[in-house]
Amino acid sequence: MPKLTNIFRLDDHQLVPEPVNKWSPFRLSWPIAQSGSTDHMAGILATMTSNSREVMAPDFARIKIRVGALVFCGNDVALIRRDRPGSTHFTPPGGNVEHGEDLLTALRRELAEELGLAHSQADAPELLWVIDQMVSRPGATPPPRKLHLIYRLHITPDVREALATEEYDEVPGGHEIGLVDWIDYRTTAELPIFPPSGRHWPRFPTHSPR
């Protein structure tokens, strides 16, 4: 399945595309990581769209924005494991931003829905990556271009104990059950994680409960 994935970092307040084989986490020097300002982020996403327009295939004219979170408890990170016939993959909890929804509002809603985590139970989300992904697929519906905004936040062991252990995703005809696994982030390099970023997680410094 042909696909194009780019990751963007901020360098002196300029968006710089990273080669696919040179991904690295970045920290925003703008206050977006703390405020979740949709005005600032809208400007960033508009710049990304403009900069990439020349290489974007017509199929990817629709853009979806997905927020996700690396929820840390010490060195363990929460991942949703989906077991399907012939394959298993992991995703950070999160989902698509609804029309007109603020980015951090969307993140808090998804974490509440999937983990039962209230925003008051974790520290402030920190934006790590913006992943620009275009994946082709069979069928008549044009595939979307998806921008993944990946945040990081921390919780305590007491909070972790009360969180959900299963996640129910709506699919045609019913629900698909995902299992919430807590995995040492230093062992994620070879895991099939979507969006593809797990091989960079072991570079994070050691984490401690907040």
DSSP-assigned letter for residue 193 = B
pLDDT at 137: 60
pLDDT digits (tens, 9 = 90+) for 83-130: 988 889 999 999 999 999 999 999 999 999 999 999 999 999 999 888
pLDDT at 150: 93
3-state class of 97 per DSSP? Answer: coil
| Peptide bond connecting 93 to the previous residue in cis, omega within 30 degrees of 0 | no
Q: Which residue has the higher pLDDT, 89 or 171?
A: 89
pLDDT digits (tens, 9 = 90+) for 53-91: 445 445 566 788 999 999 999 999 999 999 988 889 999
pTM tops 0.85: no
- CB count within 10 Å of CB 26 equals 17
134, two tokens: 């275009």
As a residue count, the chain comes to: 210
pLDDT at 171: 65
Candidates 10, 13, 1, 20; CA nearest to 132 is: 20
Question: What residues are paired with 145 via a beta bridge?
Answer: 63, 134
Are 116 and 162 in contact by the 8 Å Cβ rule? The answer is yes
Q: Is pLDDT of 29 > 60?
A: no
